[in-house]
Amino acid sequence: MTLRKQIWTLTGAAALVSTILFLVSSRAVRPLAEAEMLPWARPLVERDLRDISSDTLRVLVLRDPLTWEERPQAISGLEFELLKRYARHAGLILHAMPMDHPDSMLLALQRGTGDVIAAQWTPRRHQRRLVAFTRPYRSVHPVIAMLRPDPVVDGKAATAGIGGAVDTAEVSIWSPFAQPGNLPDLPGTKVLRVHADTNLTTEDLLMEVVLGHSLATLITDARAAYESGRFPVLEFSPPLGRPMPLCFVTRRNAPHLLASLDAWLSDPDEQEAHTQFFKAYARKLPQPGPLGLRKHIPVEGDSISPFDEAFRHHAASMRWPWELLAAMAFRESRFDSTATSHKGAQGIMQIMPRTGRKLGLDSSSVMADHIGAAVRYINKLDTMWMRAIPDRDQRLRFVLASYNAGPGHIIDAQRLAEGVGLDPYRWEQNVERAVMLLAKPRYYMQPHMRNGYCDGSQVFNYVRDVIGLYRQLRGLNLPDVSLANVVDTGVGR
């Protein structure tokens, strides 16, 4: 059976016809006669390149990583960066005009609120008589995004995913593919559920998949290549259909602006520069398959590392066995006592200098001191989380996440989890998903998020890696600390 047939369950021609009829009846594909009666059917201002040159080039943008993203003291976004290059080329002052969703962008364009729409826009037949489209700046293919099978929760035999059957793939009405003739032309196509809700963008639907609220969604390969690094829980199909062009949009009564943009987009040097931008906003897509359950530490005999005795000694004063320290040290530094991260974390346990000073470390400290400081920090985090997360196994995950990213970010992730319908007191498939969202400005810049940006994918992988290593080491039956020694310390009572 081919991958495409695996992805889509057979439903016959009736499902495909039903999908197309839905699309035709939606507001995304109004008949031309009706479209020409819309408020945005014609320009409401006279404003072309000459007027713009004496004022500003106003770009209507969506809050989207491939269009425009605002973060503290920085603005990014692929389309906005391209238009910044155009503005420098044309000697124009550029100003972004953020919009809440695409539904309001055409009217804002015709009113002169903006001069160009940047929203990863695909020309649609009924719109060509109403607005003008630049030549394409790139083409994109449709791909399916869905959650990877999770052996931690679903068991080792979990095989769902791209290799299995997808019941339904959600599609935003604003997707380049949400119109007749643009849906992937696959044998036995299963229904692509197109959302008529104009507030649900492709970005929104992808986040629904990340959170586990939706099974799958249809996105562009460009978005897949960008978001794969932020969300290790996602896997992506190969391209499923023909490519669609992405363009900028202008008013029809601004022919000089359109001609200037087209000439710039046609320039071979610019096209080469744009290719480099595309690469900067993309990563190689990971191979499909279940989430990794564990990594392995090479172990010879009864020895894990040169620091085993220090691990055993200091673990006597913490709740968990000494193998946890060994697993953390291997994940942090591969037992390299000279390791220093790009953020300045030092030593076998990769303790940040500021945290180390609070824990009593200085330049004269040896690695055994670093291990002792790590245990003191683990105990502090354990005490902090004990009331909120009474289950010891669950609390260990929150402790590890806090050790990696700081407790403030994990508390933010808890708040965010509760706000998006996840359990703020469980890690797997709940807070671990919310923490990944803290890499996106739309989440970490919310007023109740107090600690800003966090590389949540790193936290996600760190906790899973350490837990996997810890389980491996505990299964080896290596010499351990007496349980009595742990109890006698009073730690965790």
pLDDT digits (tens, 9 = 90+) for 204-232: 999 999 999 998 999 999 999 999 999 99
Q: Residues 455-463: what's their mean pLDDT?
A: 96
Sign of CA dihedral 130, 134, 135, 139: negative
Q: Token pair for residue 193?
A: 């559920």
Asked if residues 457 and 230 have their Cβ atoms less than 8 Å apart, the reply is yes
pTM: 0.85
Q: Residues 443-466: what's their mean pLDDT?
A: 96
Does the structure show a pLDDT above 50 at 33? yes
**Residue 449 CB: number of other CB atoms within 10 A?**
21
pLDDT of residue 76: 94
pLDDT of residue 378: 97
pLDDT of residue 36: 62
Does the structure show a pLDDT above 80 at 6? no
Higher-scoring residue by pLDDT: 324, 489: 324
390-434 tens-digit pLDDT? 999 999 999 999 999 999 999 999 999 999 999 999 999 999 999
Angle CA(387)–CA(393)–CA(396) in degrees, nearest 5?
Answer: 70
Residue 168 one-letter amino acid: T
Helix and strand element counts for the chain (H, E): 21, 13
Higher-scoring residue by pLDDT: 166, 152: 152
pLDDT of residue 19: 40
pLDDT band at 476; cut points 50, 70, 90: confident
Q: How far is CA 82 from the centre of its chain?
A: 22
Cα 31 from Cα 125, distance rounded (Å)? 10
Beta pairing class for 142-147 and 234-236 = antiparallel
Does the structure show a pLDDT above 80 at 245? yes
Does the structure show a pLDDT above 70 at 16? no
pLDDT of residue 100: 85
Q: Residues 455-482: what's their mean pLDDT?
A: 85
Does the structure show a pLDDT above 90 at 180? no
Going from the C-alpha of 323 to that of each of 46, 336, 468, the distances in angstroms are 72, 17, 11
360-385 tens-digit pLDDT? 988 888 899 999 999 999 999 999 99
Does the structure show a pLDDT above 60 at 436? yes
**Percent of the chain topping pLDDT 70:** 83
Q: Is 116 helix (H, G, I), strand (E, B) or coil?
A: strand
Does the structure show a pLDDT above 70 at 189? no
Write down the mean pLDDT value for the chain: 85
pLDDT of residue 102: 85
pLDDT of residue 151: 84
Does the structure show a pLDDT above 70 at 457? yes
Cα 202 from Cα 441, distance rounded (Å)? 16
Does the structure show a pLDDT above 70 at 156? no
Q: Residues 443-450: what's their mean pLDDT?
A: 95
71-124 tens-digit pLDDT? 888 999 999 999 999 999 999 999 999 998 888 999 999 999 999 999 999 998
155 Ramachandran zone, left/alpha/beta (phi>0; psi -120 to 50) = left
Sign of CA dihedral 415, 421, 426, 427: negative
Q: Residues 432-459: what's their mean pLDDT?
A: 96
